[in-house]
A = this chain, B = another copy of it.
């Protein structure tokens, strides 16, 4: 039992922090978030060619680095901290995980190298539901010979308009709940796929809506067993949830650092506001929430590794994901709100960066389910 980063993991974390501090500066974030694609393609290429982050947890046989979820989480934490605008969550934490969990060898061999080379991929599964699991799938498929015909609308698709490759979840016409779910993977230039960016309040992460109209997919696109992909989808979503929680933990650290720094520089009534107990105690609570967030996220990352490798603790995945996300969602939003409060008037301006974190915090809280949703998931495990 050793629940600390290894030296190698520390190095990965520190390298990520240094790289992102330089490349995902406030100016860079602000330029990227209003750009056409919502991210800087040159930076994305550099992340892939110089940092190998897309390859991090992809097995070596597919050209990846073969590292684990702990390493991935160490990098994601820094991405959240520096508010990196990039299709990383979608490509790595959603699509790559989907391929690792449910993809055939052929699909992995085809798509994972593309992702490693910087292609953008994402996962589309829900529309307007308040659920964040297989039950939320509303797009339907029907068989036509050996093909599958998909119809329906997806919403909240991360980087959906930029993606080169999509993983689609769909349900057998007439099925309900967790039944009849299938996963498909395909390029986005097929006929029958219509995509539109959704303008987002949190401009640092893009979302899209995708409408599939008689989208015809052949058998080679099917991931796993037809009609029985609910467990796979739920596992993919749990893995993505842990990744998102890692970002949230990183964001929490940054809003704390910004707030402490600002409070030390701002004088009121003849002293820096950092000296007032009201501010000190807010900051102390922020630190508490941030530190235990990290503990929850690192534990969940260890469990994610178990789940990806069928280890003995693999069955803890859903619980670990819900623990991390339920804590991080409320905690990040609280911390970001306190950061605004500590910054006073300037925190309310577009010029200061606090609002970017504040909006990211709220968007990340809702995405993949908020604290109440995940607590109820845990309650079901405990009480029903």
Give chain A's interface residues, CB within 8 Å of chain B: 276-278, 281
A276 to B277, CA, bound (A): 7
Closest approach, in angstroms, between the C-beta of A234 and any C-beta of chain B?
31
Which residue of the partner chain B has the closest CB to A281?
B278
A-B contact pairs, 6 of them (CB 8 A): A276-B277, A277-B277, A277-B278, A277-B281, A278-B278, A278-B281
Residues on B with beta carbons closer than 8 Å to the beta carbon of A281: 277-278
CB-defined contacts of A276 to chain B, threshold 8 Å: 277
Closest Cβ of chain B: how far from A341's Cβ, in Å?
13
Contacts of A277 in B (CB 8 A): 276-278, 281
Chain B residues near A278: list those with CB within 8 A: 277-278, 281
Sort A-B residue pairs by CB-CB distance and give the 6 closest, nearest first: A277-B277, A277-B278, A276-B277, A278-B281, A278-B278, A277-B281
A18 to chain B, nearest CB (A): 38
Instruction: A276 to B280: give the CA distance in the assembly, Å.
Output: 12
Complex CA–CA separation, A281 to B277 (angstroms):
10
Smallest CB gap from A277: residue in B: B277
User: How far does the Cβ of A329 sit from chain B's closest Cβ, in whole Å?
Assistant: 22
Interface centre among A276, A277, A281 (most CB of B within 10 A): A277
Residue of B nearest to A278 (CB): B277
CA–CA, A278 and B278, complex, Å: 6
Closest to A276 in B: B277
- With the chains together, A320 CA to B277 CA distance in Å? 38
Per the bound structure, the CA–CA distance linking A112 and B374 in Å amounts to 55
| Chain B nearest CB, measured from A275 CB (Å) | 10
Chain B nearest CB from A276 CB (Å) reads 6
Cα-based distance from A40 to B277 in the complex (angstroms): 46
> What separation, in Å, do the CA atoms of A281 and B279 have in the docked complex?
12
Q: How close is A106's CB to chain B, nearest CB, in angstroms?
A: 52
Q: What's the least CB distance linking A65 to chain B, in Å?
A: 48
Distance (Å) between the CB of A279 and the closest chain B CB?
A: 9
How many Å from the CB of A251 to the closest CB on chain B? 27
CA distance A278 to B281 in the complex (A): 8
A338: shortest Cβ distance to chain B, in Å? 14
